[in-house]
Structure 1
């Protein structure tokens, strides 16, 4: 039987313990907060206990698992235990704890214990490297977020656009799911490399043409949740952003559907003058990002609309929907 290994990481944060605990407790904000986290959903939710499903990266690989968490608000502790781990793990659990420290600071400790499927040096090294890397990234991001908590409002931008489609919702889903076909379908997409080793979890590298003709490259992990949701997080973002997450939602409406593209962005204030000019402001950056991302999303939705309406009229359409390929559940 494989042995159990333990790790411990800590950081000192110049913020109230209550602020730090609230950030860790709010798993819905994790994709915006923690670099490795792509998407989190509640499976069960109670006052002090919850079951969550997490999609995240580990050593550059997309993984998903479910964890049960117990929240001790009075003691400022959150324990977690994976109920369904992915290879090379057999089991993993741990604890977040926050202790008040002198000078209005707090000490945050993140502990993990894990058991690999077997004790080969390669597997133990892979898991340890992933735990160390992700823990250090998460603690650094937690510190940054907690310390800027009261001044972050202008840096976070959320918006969405919706288009009505007089066609089948499944065809719209298929259009968005088939990102590998976007260079032939979307004028602003120059190149795509799409991978899907785990059904429903995609990696997408894409070259996008901007309005000024320049091309920038992004890398994303996409979580496909048929029949009507695809969420994603960019692992490599354009220069103005430190975080970019998004969600495609396709809802049947009568004989047609409504498709919505939602974006959440965290702006990098240091990049604003470099990208937009020495006198540019965060307000201008918000408008610029809203225009650029919204324009590309609306173009994608209009092309998906045309695709679905042609299919509904008996023209060229989806021969097999993304939902079927990804294993609808």
Structure 2
């Protein structure tokens, strides 16, 4: 027998950071994948400066989830109202509010209030969902606290860059190369092995061993890749990152360029605090390493696409 239950919760956390900084982190949802552990990608569908509609993907255990999220931002009161719906469970509907209250110049109290309605689920399923959901607010607050309290060093820890190449060939051939990451060990020299799980079309979980670091180390990574063939984009977030990287997100995008296409690999990195006084060197090291790997992949995608075109002529 199905049931409908409403579960309410309220959690608070003291954060040693200015209220404006914390509110800014909450308001800028597009940056969450790099700053917070669970979000993989946030796509802004609509925004008028106050109200916004988002599509969000995150990771819960081994599962990649997708949500629709509507939000209303109130910068003066430092509150964010939200309404969230799980795309896989239309009856799992959550509403709530984030509130940030200043407690001096460099501290604040953050409150997360939310209610979830679970419709059409058996009692046992509802209980499991309730237990999972009740753990989420504390985790979200803890993750927010961890990044917010590094606010004075955050700009030093963040690194963004891109590499690109022009291809005289159709975007479809380049996209196919980038999408088939399971084939990269045979196509890309720095990729030693790759295994891919794609239980949901367009959502890949890829475990990859590479050897592209300046010192020749082999590193193991694991990433979620979201593939959007109609938009010629693949966005990704690494779930397992090597030293000195704390978080790594990126996007492969194909942009029409004359008779061909410009292929761009844009990457964002957050370095670990442990880099300490060696932060400048760590930034240089990561830029060299990741840039070398992306440039090699771009050049090989170009070569394969242009070679295929020549064969077909």
Quick one: distance in 2 between partners of 1:21 and 1:131?
Answer: 23
Change (3 A) 1:175 1:53: same
Cα deviation, 1:80-118, whole Å, max 9, x if unaligned, reads 112563238532222211123367421111233223341
- 1:127 and 1:239 map into 2 onto residues whose CA distance is 36
Partner residue in 2 for 1:219: 222
Q: Secondary structure of 1:2's partner?
A: strand
CA distance in 2, matches of 1:138, 1:219: 22
CA contact (8 A) 2:7 2:130 kept: no
Contiguous gaps of at least 5 residues in structure 1: 274-279, 316-329
Cα distance in 1 for residues equivalent to 2:134 and 2:201: 24
Q: 1:153 to 1:102 in 2, by over 3 A?
A: closer
Where 2:284 maps in the other structure, the secondary structure is helix
The match for 2:279 among 282, 301, 305 is 282
Aligned counterpart, 1:112: 114
How many residues align? The count is: 307
2:15 touches 2:148 (CA, 8 Å); kept in 1?
A: yes
- In the other structure, the counterpart of 2:296 is 299
The within-5 A match list for 1:198-217 is 198-211=200-213, 212-217=215-220
Give, in whole Å, the separation in 2 of the partners of 1:292 and 1:130: 39
> 1:44-94, CA deviations, whole angstroms, 9 ceiling, x for partnerless residues?
102321111111112331111211111122222111112563238532222
How many angstroms does 1:213 deviate by?
3.9
Which residue of structure 1 aligns with residue 18 of structure 2? 16
Aligned ranges 1:1-329 → 2 under 5 Å: 1-83=3-85, 85-87=87-89, 89-101=91-103, 104-116=106-118, 117-126=120-129, 128-129=131-132, 132-133=135-136, 135-211=137-213, 212-226=215-229, 227-270=231-274, 272=275, 281-314=278-311
**Per-residue CA shift, 1:170-194, capped at 9, x if unaligned?**
1111111111111111111111111
CA distance in 2, matches of 1:136, 1:218: 28
Shift of 1:151: 2.2
Q: Assess if the C-alpha contact under 8 Å between 2:50 and 2:73 holds in 1.
A: yes
Q: SS where residue 217 of structure 1 aligns? A: strand
Counterpart Cα distance in 2 of 1:131 and 1:252: 46
Shift of 1:286: 0.7
In the alignment, the residues of structure 2 paired with residue 304 and residue 44 of structure 1 have an alpha-carbon distance, to the nearest angstrom, of 33
Tell me the CA shift for residue 17 of structure 1: 1.4
Normalising by structure 1, what TM-score?
0.87
8 Å contact kept, 2:193–2:208:
yes
Q: Please give the alpha-carbon distance, in whole angstroms, between the structure 2 residues aligned to 1:177 and 1:127.
A: 36
Once the two structures are overlaid, the 10-residue window that deviates more, 166-175 or 202-211, is: 202-211
Cα distance change of structure 1 residues 66 and 192 upon mapping to structure 2, 3 Å threshold: same
In the TM superposition, residue 199 of structure 1 has moved relative to its aligned partner by 1.9
| Root mean square deviation of aligned Cα | 2.0
Within 2, Cα distance between the matches of 1:48 and 1:255? 40
Contact 1:179 1:192 in 2 (8 A): yes
Q: Of Structure 1 and Structure 2, which has the larger fraction of its residues in strand?
A: 2
- TM-score, normalization by structure 2: 0.91
Q: Is the 8 A contact 1:194 1:205 kept in 2?
A: yes
Q: Return the offset for 1:223.
A: 1.3
